[in-house]
Structure 1
Amino acid sequence: MIICSWNIRGLNQYYKIKELDSFLKKNKIDLVGYYETRVKVNKASKIQWKFGHEWVFITNYNYAENGRIWVGWKTAKVDVQAVYTNEQVIHCQVQDKNTTFSSYITFVYGKHTVADRRPLWEQLREIKGTINTPWLILGDFNNILHVEDRLNGAPVHHIEMQDFQQCLDDIEVGQLTYTAIGTVYMPPECSDHAPILINTKVHRAAGKRPYRLLTGYAIFSIVRKLKILEEHTRELHKTYSAAEMRIQGLKEQLKITQEALNEDHFNQHLIEEEKALLLQIEMWDNIHEKILRQKSRATWIHSGDKNSKYFFAQLKSRQSRNTVKCIFNEQNQKLTDPALIQQEFQIFFLNLLGQAAPVMPGNMDEDGMPIQNPPVAVGEEAAGAGYAAAIQPPPLIGNSSVSMEAVRLRLFPYSLTGEATAWLDDLPSGSITT
């Protein structure tokens, strides 16, 4: 399992969503903690959906308006149970489904003042008293342990670090370093905070699929106009056809610049160069996204309706999305077995709609004993009698919270009751022919 922790510094722009999605896939991350997303609660689900249906997220919107902490994981590989949540902490129990790895992980995003962070230190001490198993704390504490850790900011006084240092001593944890086993600090890329990766397995990077330009056909009557247009669009094509290669080149330059900036933090030329490269990457990412959208439409037009591998791949994807993989019953138990899911649906609708009454109402004598059903009509009266019986629904017994009239109207929207039934009975035999 690979765990990531990253202060993303805003996740509302498409550029950052795309970069983050690419980062997750490239590094094969299974569990991630995001901080300072700046996403409103009404937009959170839409943005989370863009990472794919395999990802599930928990947040702390109940305690923080802008969702200060997001924790996401792949349900096929990781099992995560939230234990404790507030505006500065999401504390979870994590189990890797493919290995024996199990640990408590606390995702932290501390507030910006000394007084506001003091409840955080007390919460960490309380969590320490409840566990005696491996514990990993990840996040942005908005605090430092040593004066020399401050870069490009106002000087820090010792009093500001004292609470943090004392908390780490009390909970008996140490700082992860560059040389720690399984710990990798990545370049900041689209943020000004570096992500950290905790590796529990070896991964191999997969090569990217080559870009293919799909051409169409030209109608003979407009060939000449297309030839004229070709002269004006040739340079445009040269500029934008290699968008993916341009983005890759810009990322390589950004990586080199950030590595140099890591050695010389106050180099103004490198700082300006990093900003310019980030703007260039954002612009070309948007251009590449438009190209991919046009390419996807062309692919569907060309292969979508054919009996091809592409068609069946789309069909399987849609069937997978429409599959009920798990439900929770009334006891809040999670059911994943298809047979148990089917049984739970049957029980639910049986309780909702009820069962057929064994005896028709009115077919009882004075002592409450059932009377044998009247004989079935024959001859010309059979059509009218049979039709009347068909449109009079049998009574149901079951859920008392649902009225009998509501059940009838839901199951038999065109049924006749009351005076309408009497009217039908008074009609001459054979008068209804359709």
Structure 2
Amino acid sequence: MNKRYKQKEIKKCLQNNKVTLAGLIETRVKENNTRTTINNIAAGWNCLNNYKDAVNGRIWIIWDDSWYEVKLITSATQMIHCYIQERSKGFQFHLTVVYGFNTIEQRKSLWSDMIQIGQNVNHPWIIVGDFNAMLSPKDRLAGVPVNENEIKDFSNCVKVMGLNEVQWKGNYYTWNNKQSGNKRISRRIDRAFGNEDWMDKWGHVILEYGNPGVSDHSPMHLILHQTYQQEKGKDSMKMVWNKLKALQHVLKQLNNREFKYINKQIEEARNELAEVQNQLSNQAKDDLIGKEKEILTKLEKWSMLEENALRQKARAMWIKLGDANNKYFS
């Protein structure tokens, strides 16, 4: 993170994803350069770090103070644990950002620290970061096969604490060594876990793994939407309304993400199809025939999505105008 171009890319990532709270690991920034670096990434944001526990502060938590109140609870060489309260809606949770050491023996203190912390947490709790450990034999692609000793401590910690992995989407492998050919190794070492309270409140939230960009790790992006819990004595219809209202923003984002570029995708598929068919007219190779079938399938998919989107918009317009009782229905 000392290089200016990396700071610019991190800043762009935060801005593009509208991030207001972030955990950064493996910073390698000297303590006296902390404020300058943060201002280059997110000017005016606050920062928690673990310089008192580790040389060059292995972990940062940075946030926009207008959005969150953040209080440090404890820190160690491999993690920072804090309490967070969102200012506008007031929801609260605990956050632990992890950057595990490279060896099995060094990581043992991380597992014991996490188990100890878990005994005193009475809020939704999310634990996220680079654990530098794996949970399954398939978590390393190429290189030396994963053995039981590499898995058991991490697996036992998750089991003892009663954690569940947060729903996610994106590439399975979250880190690679940037090598080529037979030397390239990929691993799944970056994860997010929630306790029971977290899963009750935000179990529906999906974490997204992005492309690594300038890093060798995939960034993890999580958007929280508060779920409304049923309270005793509350009107049942009001609670249904609140839940539907809470879904509005989620559905709007889903609509934008899935349908925004439909027309573009259709046009691209048409152009690809024309190009392949032009080649087929000269020579009917098997690979071109296969490619034509793939493009036709893609074109059909996007055309159906376009049709469904238009049908939904028409239905929404009908409902809106009908509810207004205007001349549209006279």
- TM-score under structure 2 length normalisation: 0.56
Give 5+ residue unaligned stretches, structure 2.
Answer: 170-203, 226-248, 254-330
Q: Secondary structure at the match of 1:199?
A: coil
Query: Match for residue 42 of structure 1?
Result: 32
Paired residue type of 2:157:
C
CA RMSD of aligned residues (A): 1.8
What CA distance in whole angstroms lies between the structure 2 residues aligned with 1:105 and 1:148?
A: 28
| Contact 2:167/2:206 (<8 A) preserved | no
- After TM superposition, the structure 1 = structure 2 runs for residues 139-218 of structure 1, keeping only pairs within 5 Å, are 139-178=129-168, 181-201=205-225
What CA distance in whole angstroms lies between the structure 2 residues aligned with 1:114 and 1:133?
A: 30
Paired residue type of 2:37:
I
What CA distance in whole angstroms lies between the structure 2 residues aligned with 1:52 and 1:109?
A: 21
Q: Secondary structure at the match of 2:168?
A: coil
The structure with more radius of gyration: 1
What CA distance in whole angstroms lies between the structure 2 residues aligned with 1:174 and 1:47?
A: 34
Query: Match for residue 102 of structure 1?
Result: 92
What CA distance in whole angstroms lies between the structure 2 residues aligned with 1:52 and 1:29?
A: 10
Give 5+ residue unaligned stretches, structure 1.
Answer: 1-10, 206-434
Detail structure 1 runs of 4+ shifted over 4 Å in the superposition. 201-205
Q: Which of 119, 143, 167 in structure 2 is aligned with 1:129?
A: 119
CA gap of 1:88–1:176, structure 2 versus 1, over 3 A, is same
| Contact 2:138/2:146 (<8 A) preserved | no
CA gap of 1:95–1:51, structure 2 versus 1, over 3 A, is same
CA gap of 1:40–1:76, structure 2 versus 1, over 3 A, is same
Q: Give the number of the structure whose residues are more often strand, by fraction.
A: 2
What CA distance in whole angstroms lies between the structure 2 residues aligned with 1:141 and 1:28?
A: 25
- 1:111 partnered with 2:135: no
| Count of equivalent residues | 195
| Contact 1:54/1:76 (<8 A) preserved | no
CA gap of 1:142–1:128, structure 2 versus 1, over 3 A, is same
| Contact 1:143/1:164 (<8 A) preserved | yes
**TM-fit CA distance, 1:39:** 1.2
- 1:28 partnered with 2:18: yes
- After TM superposition, the structure 1 = structure 2 runs for residues 256-405 of structure 1, keeping only pairs within 5 Å, are none
What CA distance in whole angstroms lies between the structure 1 residues aligned with 2:90 and 2:36?
A: 34
| Contact 1:94/1:104 (<8 A) preserved | yes
Q: Deviations over 1:28-49 (max 9, x none)?
A: 1011000101112222222112
What CA distance in whole angstroms lies between the structure 1 residues aligned with 2:20 and 2:138?
A: 33
What CA distance in whole angstroms lies between the structure 2 residues aligned with 1:200 and 1:25?
A: 17
What CA distance in whole angstroms lies between the structure 1 residues aligned with 2:168 and 2:77?
A: 29
- TM-score under structure 1 length normalisation: 0.43
Query: Match for residue 17 of structure 1?
Result: 7
Report sequence identity in percent: 34
